[in-house]
Amino acid sequence: MYKRNFITGIILLLFLSVSVNGQNNIKVTKLKALKDAYTGKFLIGTASDLRGFSDAELANIKMHYNAITPENSMKPQSLHPSMDKYNFGIADSLVDWSTKNGLKVWGHTLLWHAQTAPWFFQANPELEETPRPRPAFQPNQPRAPRDPNAPRPSMAEMWLRSVSGPLACRDVALERLKNHIMTVAGRYKGRVIGWDVANESIEDGGDGTTENLRNFSWYKVVGPDVLTLAFKWAREADPDAELYYNDYNIEQGAVENKGKHASSMLLLKRLIAEGAPITGVGIQGHWHLDTNLEDVEKAIENYASLGLRVAITELDVTATGNNSGAFDVNTGRREIPAENYLKQAEVYKKLFEIFMRHSDVIDRVTLWGVSDTRSWRRGQDALLFDGELQPKPAFHAVIEAGKKK
């Protein structure tokens, strides 16, 4: 711990004496709240379900953020695990706490191929309510060895296995989805400012000549129009909510209008043409030290050209890279060279400078987690605060970027 704190201190001293953008030295005095640095520009959010948070962590959220996205508690699997059961407890608590403490809540998510209970797609979900019997445990029976060369099942294959049995017909699946959206979006009407209506519908890869939607889950049982219908039902449930399409890597290829970005443009144009009441696009922003920043800026411009608002919805920038040190078996993490934290700060600063240039179309910038130990990328030190809630060089870089108004 002392070694880590010492290294962090050295990094901060280096940062204070080194230019982040090659031109301006950054001077850190009194710690400023992130949200205050971007007042009048866009909301600064974090993502969490607030379960088991310490007073210090809650204080950090109240100080630095004015928006929050539930990381998991509003996903279909969490809220609606079986046909006749809803679990609203965690989500309700988050909304109540956030409202009390002045944070706006963003709903995440109503339609997703992942973390959605199998019953949505089953012809006879009531038959799956009874747990399947497991074979008796045989203590002396060796496990069959795994073939390391065997191909791994695709996401579509794993989804089909999880559903098991015959699939529901299109009309039944749509009725279930509509009931889910109307119930969930209706429950939080006026208490959340908007929704990621659909999440990660576009498959990885592809040349950008088609929408390249996933070939399983809702897109297999219903078809491509499930997205337009989901947006219309969300609008019916909450007429005042902002309604977004959210996805990762959709900025990639923006400069040349190819790949996943080109697919996202085709999808968004279709949704608009079909009358989907979509108001914006969420660029997730799970980035790294070598992220193509030109693609990021061009993607924002392209989405805005469609008349859509933009949000950065799940921002983090990994500090790990090709020059990361050896894996430490005692700490369970890979040592990260000090220079990487300076590179991370530079990337964050350039990103927020882009966001500032386009603050007329950007509504929110949300960091996906509160600290490096409260992150799905734990071990990659991807956020602005370390595991002890101490601001990293990236934090001060973001504050500095906010001064250019």
Q: Report whether pLDDT(152) > 90.
A: no
What are 352's two structure tokens? 């927020």
Q: Which residues are catalytic?
A: 200, 247, 314
Provide the residue type at 354 as one letter: I
Q: What is the mean pLDDT of residues 64-86?
A: 97
Which residue ranges make up each domain of the chain?
38-125+154-401
Q: 344-357 burial string, b = 16+ CB within 10 Å, else e?
A: bbbbbbbbbbbbbe
Q: Considering only residues 335 and 77, tell me which one the structure prediction assigns the higher pLDDT.
A: 77
pLDDT of residue 323: 54
Q: What is the mean pLDDT of residues 177-200?
A: 98
Fold adopted by 38-125+154-401: TIM Barrel (3.20.20)
Q: Report whether pLDDT(195) > 80.
A: yes
pLDDT of residue 153: 84
Q: Considering only residues 366 and 161, tell me which one the structure prediction assigns the higher pLDDT.
A: 366
pLDDT of residue 160: 87
Q: Report whether pLDDT(137) > 80.
A: no
pLDDT of residue 255: 98
Q: What is the mean pLDDT of residues 118-133?
A: 74
Mean pLDDT of the chain: 89
pLDDT of residue 155: 87
Residue pLDDT, tens place only, 80-117: 999 999 999 999 999 999 999 999 999 999 999 999 99
Q: Can you list the pairs that 352-356 forms with residues at least 24 positions away whose Cβ atoms lie under 8 Å?
A: 352/397, 352/398, 352/401, 352/402, 353/401, 353/404, 354/293, 354/296, 354/297, 354/300, 355/41, 355/42, 355/312, 356/38, 356/41, 356/401, 356/402, 356/404, 356/405
